[in-house]
Structure 1
Amino acid sequence: MPEYKQFPLADTAEGLTEAEILDWKVKPGDEVQVNQIVVEVETAKAAVELPVPWAGVVTELLAEPGQTVEVGTPIMTIDVDPQGSAPSGGGATEQPAAPATNGVAQEPPSGSSAAPAPADDEMKPLVGYGSKNVVAKRRPRKLPNATFVASDATNATLGKSDATNATLGSSAPEYVPLAKPPVRKLAKELGVDLRQVIGSAEGGVITREDVQRAAEPETTATAAAPAHAPGARERRVPIKGVRKATAQAMVSSAFTAPHVTEFLTIDVTPMMEFRAKLKSSPAFAGVKLTPLAFAAKAVCLAVRRTPDVNAVWDDEANEIVFKDYVHLGIAAATPRGLVVPKVRDADALSLVELAQAIDELTTTARDGKTPPEAMLHGTFTITNVGVFGVDTGTPIINPGESAILALGAIRDMPWVVDGELAVRKVMQLSLSFDHRVVDGQQGSQFLADVGALLADPAQAITY
Structure 2
Amino acid sequence: MTVKKFNLPDVGEGLTEAEVVAWKVKPGDTVAINDVLCEIETAKSLVELPSPFAGTVTELLVEEGITVEVGTAIIAVSEGHEGDSAPATPQAPPVSPEVDEVFTPVYGKLSAEDNEQPATSPLVGSGPKADAVKRRARKRPLESVVAAAPVAEDAEGTVQDVTSVLQANAAEVPAPKRVTSVAQESPATRGNSVGVALTGLVNKVLAKPPVRKFARDLGIDLADVVPTGHRGEVTREDLVSYQAQRDAELDQAESFWSASKKPQDQRIERIPVKGVRKATARAMVDSAFSAPHVSIFVDVDASRTMEFVKRLKVSRDFEGIKVSPLLILAKAVIWAAARNPSVNATWVDDSDGKGAAEIHVKHYMNLGIAAATPRGLMVPNIKDAQDLSLKELALALNELATKARAGKTQPAEMQGGTLTVTNIGALGIDTGTPIINPGEVAIVAFGTIKQKPWVLDGEVIPRWITTLGGSFDHRVVDGDLSARFMADVAAILEEPALLLD
Normalised to the residue count of structure 2, the TM-score between the two structures is 0.62
State the shift of 1:315 in Å. Answer: 0.7
State the shift of 1:84 in Å. Answer: 6.0
Answer with 29-38 or 378-387: which moved more: 29-38
Aligned pairs for 1:290-309 (under 5 A) are 290-309=324-343
State the shift of 1:290 in Å. Answer: 0.7
Give the 3-state SS of the residue equivalent to 2:444 in structure 1: strand
Aligned pairs for 1:186-205 (under 5 A) are none
State the shift of 1:233 in Å. Answer: 1.1
- Give the residue type in structure 2 aligned to 1:71: V
Q: Which residue of 2 aligns with 1:80?
A: 79
The answer on 1:284 being equivalent to 2:318 is yes
Q: Which residue of 1 aligns with 2:495?
A: 456
Q: Which residue of 1 aligns with 2:348?
A: 314
Moved segments of 4+, more than 2 Å: 81-86
How many pairs were matched up? 317
The 2-side partners of 1:353 and 1:295 are apart by 15
Q: Which residue of 1 aligns with 2:478?
A: 439
The 2-side partners of 1:232 and 1:48 are apart by 32
Q: Which residue of 2 aligns with 1:70?
A: 69
The 1-side partners of 2:266 and 2:312 are apart by 55
Give the 3-state SS of the residue equivalent to 2:417 in structure 1: coil
Q: Which residue of 1 aligns with 2:53?
A: 54
Post-superposition CA distance 1:142-175 (Å, at most 9, x none): xxxxxxxxxxxxxxxxxxxxxxxxxxxxxxxxxx
| Identity of matched residues, % | 56
The 2-side partners of 1:77 and 1:70 are apart by 17
The 1-side partners of 2:33 and 2:332 are apart by 46
- Give the residue type in structure 1 aligned to 2:19: E
- Give the residue type in structure 1 aligned to 2:401: T
Answer with 29-38 or 312-321: which moved more: 312-321
The 2-side partners of 1:335 and 1:368 are apart by 8
Q: Which residue of 1 aligns with 2:166?
A: none
Aligned pairs for 1:420-435 (under 5 A) are 420-435=459-474
Q: Which residue of 2 aligns with 1:152?
A: none
The 2-side partners of 1:459 and 1:428 are apart by 20
Q: Which residue of 2 aligns with 1:379?
A: 418
Q: Gaps spanning 5+ residues in structure 1: where?
A: 87-230
Contact 1:250/1:398 (8 A) holds in 2 = yes
Give the 3-state SS of the residue equivalent to 1:248 in structure 2: helix
Q: Which residue of 2 aligns with 1:177?
A: none
Residues 388 and 366 (structure 1 numbering): CA distance in 2 closer, same or farther, change over 3 Å?
same
Q: Which residue of 2 aligns with 1:243?
A: 277
State the shift of 1:286 in Å. Answer: 1.3
Q: Which residue of 2 aligns with 1:367?
A: 406
2:305 aligned residue (271, 279, 285): 271
Post-superposition CA distance 1:369-428 (Å, at most 9, x none): 111110001000000000000000000000011100000000010000100000000000
2:386 aligned residue (347, 351, 373): 347
The 2-side partners of 1:283 and 1:237 are apart by 46
Q: Which residue of 2 aligns with 1:325?
A: 364
The answer on 1:388 being equivalent to 2:427 is yes
- Give the residue type in structure 1 aligned to 2:30: E
Give the 3-state SS of the residue equivalent to 1:426 in structure 2: strand
State the shift of 1:81 in Å. Answer: 2.8
Q: Which residue of 2 aligns with 1:39?
A: 38
State the shift of 1:56 in Å. Answer: 0.9
Contact 1:294/1:454 (8 A) holds in 2 = yes
The answer on 1:30 being equivalent to 2:29 is yes
State the shift of 1:367 in Å. Answer: 0.6
The 2-side partners of 1:335 and 1:235 are apart by 16
Give the 3-state SS of the residue equivalent to 1:255 in structure 2: helix
The 2-side partners of 1:278 and 1:361 are apart by 20
The structure with the larger Rg is 2
Normalised to the residue count of structure 1, the TM-score between the two structures is 0.67
Give the 3-state SS of the residue equivalent to 2:290 in structure 1: coil
The 2-side partners of 1:323 and 1:312 are apart by 8
Give the 3-state SS of the residue equivalent to 2:294 in structure 1: strand
- Give the residue type in structure 2 aligned to 1:329: G
Aligned pairs for 1:206-217 (under 5 A) are none
State the shift of 1:237 in Å. Answer: 1.1
State the shift of 1:44 in Å. Answer: 1.0
The 1-side partners of 2:273 and 2:295 are apart by 29
- Give the residue type in structure 2 aligned to 1:354: L
- Give the residue type in structure 2 aligned to 1:53: P
Q: Gaps spanning 5+ residues in structure 2: where?
A: 86-264, 352-356
- Give the residue type in structure 2 aligned to 1:435: H
Q: Which residue of 2 aligns with 1:9?
A: 8
Post-superposition CA distance 1:9-66 (Å, at most 9, x none): 1111012111111111111111111111111111111111001111111111011111
2:291 aligned residue (257, 281, 287): 257
Aligned pairs for 1:99-248 (under 5 A) are 232-248=266-282
Q: Which residue of 1 aligns with 2:218?
A: none
- Give the residue type in structure 2 aligned to 1:439: D
CA RMSD of aligned residues (A): 1.3
Give the 3-state SS of the residue equivalent to 1:308 in structure 2: helix
The 1-side partners of 2:266 and 2:363 are apart by 55
State the shift of 1:85 in Å. Answer: 5.6
Q: Which residue of 2 aligns with 1:106?
A: none
